[in-house]
Structure 1
Amino acid sequence: MFPDVLTIFIPLVFGYLLKVKGEKRVDFISKSTSRLVFFILGLMGLSLASLDNLGQNVGQILILAAVFFVCIGGMNLLTLPILDLIWKTETSDQHQNLPLHKMVFESLKLVVVVGLGLIIGLTFNLNLGWVDKASEYILLLLLFLIGIQLRNSGMTLKQIVLNKKGMASATVVVFSSLFGGIVGALILDIPINHGLAMASGFGWYSLAGILMGDGLGPIYGGASFLLELSREMVALVLIPILISRYTITAIGYGGATSMDFTLPVIQSSGGIRCVPIAIVSGFILSLLVPVLMLFFLSFG
């Protein structure tokens, strides 16, 4: 972990303050961010390869991911329906056929990249002492670009404040996830702040895995990546099923992905009226992922 957590916040803030104009520049930043994510996840795979007793550690990764998936997801699904009882949201009855297999494939590509890094590290006798330091520097650049993307997402402060359902959804997801993180930490007998950090990914599997891996090592990084990826896969299945009766629940469970990856599913399943809720909820959660996760990790 960096000696000063503010070292990580600085590029995110500077990126958010930077307004980029022009489609070509925005597109270049988006592509650069995607490439950096692939690269740093490959480094995560190399880090996993350098672990002693890898077989035992894989079991530990699966246990961590499974416990937190049940605790966090369970708390989300228990609390979000309360908002649907308070607010009735009209949805569209027209459902379009989405190429879900393509979206699943995009997520699986990231898993493949981690796997390739792991295979390379296990196959070749490489000096991997440089991996952690390289990951730190690439992470700084990645956070800077993410800050720019958040600023250029089109959301204004007024739009966020006025959309009460989106704000409420994000708020319930945050607090129910953190409570689930505490429960998971107690079950696993690990530090509470580690559980709170694990609960702060909100479905953003690439960034969550990277931050947790940098802060607590590849075991936590791999577990966080698997946890948030599983959440997204389940969200793709649950959204079309729940959105007509439990609109805010379906959107909220998508977490940070509701403003991008799961947004097409939300729009096609629930209609255009669901889009502002999804974008606002996803935007707030995306902004909070690095803030909350790094805050909890700063306690050591």
Structure 2
Amino acid sequence: MYFGILIALVPLCIGYLIKFKQEKWLAKINQILSWMVYFILFIMGSELAQLDDLTTNLQHILFYTAIIFVCTFGSNFIFLMLFDLFLPWRTSHTKQSYDSRFKMILESLRVCIALILGFIVGLFPLFIWQYSENIIQVVLVFLLLLIGISLRSNNISLKQILLNKVGIATTLIVIISTFLGGIIAALILHLPLPVGLGMSSGFGWYSLSVILMTKAQGPIIGSATFLNDILRELCAIIVIPSLIGRYKLTALGLCGATSMDFTLPILQKGAGITIVPPAIVQGFLLTLLMPIFMTLFNYGF
């Protein structure tokens, strides 16, 4: 139990102690992280290809994904919408057009291509697949180390986090409603509650959730977790333009951990610069808490 928690937290904390100020180093770190995402999903796809009774397992993955997504994303939407109705957040920004939304969706779908390629290659009996678990272990440590460095280098102080009430409020609502959805999904799927909570606690961060859940619960649960987080990102991109004008808190909360990076430009385009601080705070907190929650649910119960 403690090894599983430490292997997630120690590299993240060590990385958070390191700060780069030069833009060229930050760009290199982001580029490496991007490559690692595709590599992780490639390995994930190869593990899927080696499952026994593949057709039945794929049906389980899709069924698990549908249930966990409807429960978690639906719960997020209901709670955030209620929050928006009773405590609306108004800004004077004029919403702009979203001519690049289709391009962003296609960019998200690229990660699925890496998974499919890994699946195809995994059908061939290569000797390297016997070392896949060790490879994932090394990649996980390196990934968390770089993420910690990236978080610290974004110059987000504790004061900024503690004083931004909007970002903290949406973060709390997202966490509580997501966990509620995870519990409901676990009951529907007849899974242990910690597994349902673990599957739900990715908050859209598919590159890390897939590796943590696969390592702890196997490729079937890991794949369903990955697809759930991918669907969150895709649906957030689709619904933000419709919600951002009147329901800004809902649009922000549905982005989950991606509000700090991938969905930040589309949020800013719809609500202006005022939404940037809470978006960064929400993304930062969920990014920081996600590996803690997921490892606790997988190893702490």
SS at match of 2:10: helix
The aligned counterpart of 1:246 is 247
How many residues matched? 299
Partner of residue 230, structure 1? 231
Q: Is the 8 A contact 2:2 2:299 kept in 1?
A: no
Contact 1:200 1:293 in 2 (8 A): yes
**Equivalents in 2 of 1:233, 1:175: separation in Å?**
22
Alpha-carbon contact 2:71-2:181 (below 8 Å) kept:
yes
1:112-161 per-position Cα deviation (integer Å, ceiling 9, x unaligned): 01100100111x22232111111111111011001111111221111111
CA distance in 1, matches of 2:297, 2:263: 27
Q: Following the alignment from structure 2 to structure 1, what is the Cα–Cα distance between the partners of residues 245 and 210?
A: 32
Distance 1:97 1:79, change over 3 A: closer
Whether the 8 Å CA contact 2:202–2:229 is kept in 1: the answer is yes
Q: What is the aligned partner in structure 2 of residue 48 from structure 1?
A: 48
Counterpart of 2:125 in structure 1: which amino acid? N
Q: Percent identity?
A: 45
Deviation at 1:105, TM superposition (A): 1.9
Aligned-partner residue type, residue 254 of structure 1: C
TM-score, structure 1 length as denominator? 0.96
1:232 deviates by 0.8
5 Å-filtered alignment, 1:1-300, equals: 3-84=3-84, 85-122=86-123, 124-127=124-127, 128-299=129-300
Question: Residues 162-211 of structure 1, C-alpha deviation per residue, up to 9 Å, x if partnerless?
Answer: 11011000000001100110110000000100011011111111211121
CA–CA distance in 2 between the matches of 1:174 and 1:275? 20
Distance 1:91 1:46 in 2: 49
SS of aligned partner of 1:5: helix
* CA distances 1:67-94 after superposition (whole Å, capped 9, x unpaired): 0101101111111123322243215223
1:52 & 1:220 partners in 2: Cα distance? Answer: 15
Structure 1 portions without partners, runs of 5+: none
Q: CA RMSD in A?
A: 1.5
Alpha-carbon deviation of 1:3?
A: 4.4
AA paired with 1:17? L
- The whole-number CA distance in structure 2 between the counterparts of 1:250 and 1:80 is 9
Distance 1:91 1:253 in 2: 22
1:271 to partner: Cα distance: 1.6
Equivalent residue letter for 1:252:
G
| C-alpha separation in 2, matches of 1:230 and 1:290 | 19
**Unaligned runs of at least 5 residues, structure 2:** none
- Deviation readout 1:35-57 (Å, 9 max, x if unpaired): 11211111111111110011111
CA distance in 1, matches of 2:227, 2:255: 15
Which stretch has the larger CA shift, 89-98 or 162-171? Answer: 89-98
Are the counterparts in 2 of residues 91 and 244 from structure 1 also a CA contact under 8 Å? no
Change (3 A) 1:208 1:91: farther
- After superposition, the C-alpha distances for 1:230-279 in whole angstroms (9 at most, x for unaligned) are 11111011111111111101100110111111111111112221222211
- Once the two structures are TM-superposed, the CA of residue 7 in structure 1 deviates from its matched residue by 2.2
